[in-house]
Amino acid sequence: MAVCVAVIAKENYPLYIRSTPMENELKFHYMVHTSLDVVDEKISAMGKALVDQRELYLGLLYPTEDYKVYGYVTNSKVKFVMVVDSSNTALRDNEIRSMFRKLHNSYTDVMCNPFYNPGDRIQSRAFDNMVTSMMIQVC
Amino acid sequence: MADTVLFEFLHTEMVAELWAPDPDPGPGGQKTSLTVLESMGFRVGQTLGERLPQETLGFREELDVLRFLCKDLWVAVFHKQMDSLRTNHQGTYVLQDNSFRLLIPMASGLQYVEEAPKFLAFTCGLLCGTLHTLGFQSLVTAFVTALPACECWRWCLHAH
């Protein structure tokens, strides 16, 4: 149900980015890049709020005419950005949260892989399969 | 419960293996072994720093992270909490463990104090790695005054 999934490292470079319509990939890359500013804004806003602890799920970052962009940040400042189709109105907040939780679990598994160097691009097939399963459900 | 001692046995073997008499002893031999142990601990710390806080909410400040270290991390690795945490509020923290699990089987008192540092290298790396994942550049050193108590000092260089 996601159209594009991206994992951004804490230094703001992409560790993993994949989108379904293979043409026009650049548009999604650009969308993810611009969403990073919104993510930073949300993180600093939460830091100043009087809430005791901050949530990891950031919610809707910004909507465009065709797509909606959601964000999630981990404790290690790794950001997950997901772009979904606006026409897919059946998608609810809970579903997006569970998709992010799955992403977080898979990302932690990738980190625990001794053959993976933190900071490299993610090339794990298991991670790829999990992202494919999230994208394929739209058809 | 056998699983609590599995890590201790593995750790003892790691130290013994890296300290085995080198057939070609170079001048930097001992230091490289300490660095190897620390870097092993660093990588493990990085993964623990990802996995352990997964269910908790975001950390707001440095003290939260240190509290996480003393409680969650120490319990996960050594099955007990850190005994005391002191700070000068300017980036230096002293964590004290009065019965450090890896040193308990060795001695209780002043015997073997010179041998103790190599058993702390992995743990220093562990703390450093976890802090690095959580966003803090730091320097961790450990002291042993009398087994099995040990202290870890951590200087925070900067948060990134």
Q: Tell me which residue in A56, A77, A105 faces B135 most closely, judged by beta carbons.
A: A77
**Chain B: nearest CA to A105, how far in angstroms?**
8
Whole-number pLDDT of residue B4: 74
The answer to whether residue B26 is domain-embedded is no
Query: Cβ contact (<8 Å) for A111 and B58?
Result: no
Distance separating alpha carbons of residues B65 and B63, to the nearest angstrom: 5
Q: What is the model's pLDDT at position B1? A: 57
Cite the beta strand spans of chain A per DSSP E.
Answer: 2-8, 14-19, 57-63, 67-73, 79-85
Range of the domain at B61: 4-15+31-157
**Domain count for chain B:** 1
Per CB-CB distance under 8 Å, the chain B contacts of A54 are: 57-58, 60
Rounded to two decimals, what is the model's pTM? 0.84
Q: Which residues of chain A have pLDDT under 70?
A: 1, 22, 47-54, 88-90, 137-139
Q: Name chain B contacts of A52, Cβ cutoff 8 Å.
A: 60
- Beta strands B84-87 and A67-73 are unpaired
Whether the CB-CB separation of B149 and B124 falls below 8 Å is answered with no
Q: Cα separations (Å) of B13 from B9, B16, B17, B71, B126?
A: 6, 5, 6, 27, 17
d(CA A5, CA A80): 7
Classify burial at B91, counting beta carbons within 10 Å of its beta carbon; exposed 0-12, middle 13-18, buried 19 or more. Answer: middle
Question: Is the separation of the CB atoms in A139 and A5 below 8 Å?
Answer: no
Is A139 a member of any domain?
no
- Residue A37 inside a domain? The answer is yes
Q: Using an 8 Å Cβ cutoff, are B122 and B41 in contact?
A: yes
The shortest C-alpha distance from A111 to chain B (Å) reads 6
CA-based max dimension of chain A: 44
Within a domain: A71: yes
Residue B20 belongs to some domain of the structure:
no
Q: What is A6-43 written as a DSSP string? A: EEE-TTS-EEEEEESSSTTHHHHHHHHHHHHHHHHHHH
Torsion of CA A132, A133, A134, A139, to 10 degrees: 90
Spans in chain B with pLDDT lower than 70: 1-2, 21-31, 147-148, 154-160
Which residue carries 């996960």 as its tokens?
B76
Q: What is the pLDDT of residue A4?
A: 87
User: A73 lies in which domain range?
Assistant: 2-134
Peptide bond into B148 cis (omega under 30): yes
Q: Which of B40, B42, B47, B131 to substitute to test the interface with A, most A CBs within 10 Å? A: B47
Give how far B72 is from chain A: nearest CA, Å: 14
Q: B140-155 b/e with 16+ CB inside 10 Å = b? A: bebebeebbbbbbbbe
Judging contacts by C-beta atoms under 8 Å, the chain A residues touching residue B43 are 114
CATH number of the domain that residue B114 is part of: 3.30.1380.20
Examine residue B94 and state whether it is found in any structural domain, yes or no. Answer: yes
Residue from A73, A76, A120 whose CB has the most chain B CBs within 10 Å, to mutate: A76
In a domain, A82, yes or no: yes
- B21 in any annotated domain: no
Share in percent of chain A as helix, strand, coil (round to 5): 40, 25, 35
Q: Which amino acid is at B151?
A: E
Vertex B52, ends B48 and B53: CA angle to 5°? 120
**Any domain includes B37:** yes
What is the domain-level CATH number for residue A47?
3.30.450.70
Residues of A in contact with B160 (CB under 8 A): 10
Domain membership of residue A41 (yes or no) is: yes
Q: Does residue B22 lie within any of the structural domains?
A: no
Q: Is B153 domain-assigned?
A: yes
Report the distance separating Cα A54 and Cα B62, nearest Å: 14
Asked if residue B25 is part of any domain, the answer here is no
- What's the total number of domains in chain A? 1
Nearest CB among B46, B47, B58 relative to A75 is that of B58
